[in-house]
């Protein structure tokens, strides 16, 4: 099917409530163009701009994007610093438009340990958009799903030691309520760009029944048609949640 065809076939009355994206392939995109990796990240920011704009336009209730993982600290310091700087640049540049579009920014991950300029930008953006009622735009930053689960387990242990809960009463709802994502539904659709068939420590608990869509397109090349293809593909699936049709 021609790439342009997908949008015509999408049922806009049955959109996923929560789309999550592992934005991968910035480095490979730059490599292919004989450019430094940083240029790939810069181009990735433009793909992010387009994607947020389209998702808000078609009224996706929640969009989550994986921007920086707890494991990405293993990269060379220059690349990490560039990514942090780009984040501040992105938020400062986009905040007015995000706010105008009634988008509410949310951050999942341990952003308190990021450089102080990042924290400032993030907190300003959170404060400015906190009462917005449109799309929730969740940026996973210094996010690692295992770390998130460990945090939840520690907090359960603390509640038990204070006598607030009984050990036998731990259930799925309690665990979900202690994750960063407690206010948003689990993703319906998870998109990963750049072809890698792995999850890389992203929302392990939350994606138990999420539909996966992996595209070979590198993140900077991801566009409206690619998003429509992912949504169309999602709409062809039969979600059974372990039951029968």
The answer to whether residue 188 is catalytic is no
Q: Out of 2, 11, 72, 81, pick the active-site residue.
A: 72
The answer to whether residue 24 is catalytic is yes
Query: Would you say 58 or 80 has its CB closer to ligand IPE?
Result: 80
Q: Out of 2, 11, 24, 225, pick the active-site residue.
A: 24
User: Taking CB positions, which residue lies at the least distance from Mg ion?
Assistant: 24
CA distances from 4 to 21, 223, 225 (A): 21, 11, 6
Look at residue 220 and give the partner it binds from ligand IPE, Mg ion, none, a contact being a CB closer than 5 to 8 Å depending on partner kind.
Answer: none
Look at residue 66 and give the partner it binds from ligand IPE, Mg ion, none, a contact being a CB closer than 5 to 8 Å depending on partner kind.
Answer: ligand IPE
User: Taking CB positions, which residue lies at the least distance from ligand IPE?
Assistant: 27
Binding site residues, ligand IPE, CB under 6 A = 22-28, 66-69, 72, 83, 194, 196, 198, 200, 219
* CA-based end-to-end distance of the chain: 28
Residue 24 touching Mg ion (CB under 5 A): yes
Q: How far is the CB of 172 from Mg ion (least distance, A)?
A: 31
Kindly state the number of chain residues that form the binding site for Mg ion, as judged by CB under 5 A.
Answer: 1
Closest CA to 82 of 39, 144, 139: 39
8 Å CB contact between 62 and 184: yes
Look at residue 72 and give the partner it binds from ligand IPE, Mg ion, none, a contact being a CB closer than 5 to 8 Å depending on partner kind.
Answer: ligand IPE
The stretch near Mg ion (CB under 5 A) out of 16-24, 80-88, 126-134, 141-149 is: 16-24
Q: How far is the CB of 219 from ligand IPE (least distance, A)?
A: 6
By annotation, the residues acting in catalysis are 24, 72
- Residues of this chain that interact with Mg ion (CB under 5 A) are 24
């Amino acid at each position: 099917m021609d790439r342009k065809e997908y949008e015509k076939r999408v049922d806009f009355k049955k959109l996923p409530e929560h789309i999550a994206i592992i934005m991968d392939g910035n480095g490979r995109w730059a490599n292919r163009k004989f450019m430094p990796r940083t240029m790939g990240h810069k181009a990735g920011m433009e793909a992010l701009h387009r994607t947020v704009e389209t998702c808000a336009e078609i009224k996706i209730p929640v969009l989550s994007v994986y921007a920086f993982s707890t494991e990405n600290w293993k990269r060379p310091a220059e690349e990490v610093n560039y990514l942090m700087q780009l984040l501040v640049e992105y938020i400062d540049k986009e905040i007015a438009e995000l706010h105008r579009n009634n988008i509410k920014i949310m951050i999942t991950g341990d952003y308190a340990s990021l450089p102080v300029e990042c924290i400032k930008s993030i907190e300003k953006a959170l404060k400015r958009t906190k009462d917005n009622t449109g799309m929730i735009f969740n940026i996973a930053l210094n996010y690692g799903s295992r770390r998130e689960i460990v945090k939840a387990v520690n907090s359960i242990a603390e509640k038990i030691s204070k006598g607030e809960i009984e050990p036998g009463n731990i259930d799925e709802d309690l665990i979900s309520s202690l994750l960063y994502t407690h206010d948003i539904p689990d993703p319906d659709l998870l998109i990963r760009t750049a072809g890698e068939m792995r999850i890389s420590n992203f929302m392990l608990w939350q994606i138990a029944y999420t539909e996966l869509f992996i595209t070979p397109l590198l993140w900077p090349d991801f566009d409206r048609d690619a998003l429509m293809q992912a949504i169309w593909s999602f709409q062809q699936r039969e979600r059974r949640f372990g039951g029968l049709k």
